Amino acid sequence: MQYRKDPLITGECYHVFTRSIAKYIIFNNDNDFTRIIETINLFHFSNFKSAYPSYKKLSFNTQNEILKNLQKENQKLVEIIAYCVMPTHIHLVLRQLEDNAISNFMSRILNGYSKYFNICHQRSGPLFEGRFKSVHIKDDEQLLHLTRYIHLNPVSAGLIDKPEDWQYSSYHEYLDDNVNKICDFNLILDFVPVKYEQFVNDQKSYQRELQIIKNLTIDV
């Protein structure tokens, strides 16, 4: 087992990032994106013990009942504060709720998706680039700016023009109380949705310019 230089501390928040090998596109369509997001949601509950394929074989009503019970019991490995799934990588903001929880959570979702992807594409071997990376979030201001960076990631990459047009992030949860949520951010971040939307969009052009400069620098 590989040990981290800086152990992940229970009760603390982290920006967790993982990328595919050689920036290979691993989320190709709505089914792929939906699968990883559903997996993220299910596996952050510590009392969900089933394999995802077994869960998906159940009737729609049974799946909903299981999810409702998980939400009611509220036993979690991590709190999901924000997420964005991109074609080649995943951003997550997580708060660890018990020792080794983030590592266990990430191992389960990444191993499960790798098996699914390899079967679908008749390939074998690792899908993700080594161990996931993590950065400790030290205060609420850093956390707020990080959520904006993550929600603008698809815009910066040139995939869409507006962050609300990307279906595979938590941005909609931040703007609309009536959508189904998998994130827990209300007790950590205090904002009015319309002001958060302005906060994100105020940075949109600047973040895209930074991404262009970064890409040019890498190419050189």
pLDDT tens across 29-75, in order?
999 999 999 999 999 999 999 999 999 999 999 999 999 999 999 99
In the chain, the number of structural domains is: 1
* Phi, psi for 98 (deg, rounded to 5): -155, 160
Q: Which two tokens stand for residue 137?
A: 């979030």
75 domain residue, yes or no:
yes
186 domain residue, yes or no:
yes
3-class DSSP state of 36: helix
1 domain residue, yes or no:
no
pLDDT tens across 136-192, in order?
998 888 898 899 999 999 998 999 999 999 999 999 999 988 778 899 987 778 788
Q: What is the pLDDT of residue 212?
A: 52
**Residue range(s) defining the domain that contains residue 43:** 13-219
Distance CA 98, CA 81 (A): 16
Q: Which two tokens stand for residue 124?
A: 């074998």
| 184 vs 215: which has the higher pLDDT | 184
5 domain residue, yes or no:
no
* Low-confidence winner among 23-27, 95-99, 177-181 (lowest mean pLDDT): 177-181
Share of the chain above pLDDT 90, in %: 68
For residue 143, which of 93, 182, 91, 183 has the smallest C-alpha distance? Answer: 93
Q: Can you spell out the DSSP letters for 52-121? A: HHHHHTS-HHHHHHHHHHHHHHT-BSEEEEEEEE-SSEEEEEEEE-STTHHHHHHHHHHHHHHHHHHHHT
Q: Assign residue 197 the CATH number of its domain.
A: 3.30.70.1290
Share of the chain above pLDDT 70, in %: 90
pLDDT band at 216 (very low <50, low <70, confident <90, very high): very low
Q: What is the pLDDT of residue 21?
A: 93
Q: What is the pLDDT of residue 187?
A: 72
153 domain residue, yes or no:
yes
2 domain residue, yes or no:
no
6 domain residue, yes or no:
no
| 124 vs 40: which has the higher pLDDT | 40
Distance CA 157, CA 150 (A): 11
For residue 137, which of 129, 128, 126, 145 has the smallest C-alpha distance? Answer: 145
Q: What is the pLDDT of residue 190?
A: 78
179 domain residue, yes or no:
yes
CA gyration radius for the chain?
17
Burial of 212 (0-12, 13-18, 19+ CB in 10 A): exposed
Q: How many CA within 13 A on the CB side of residue 162?
A: 5
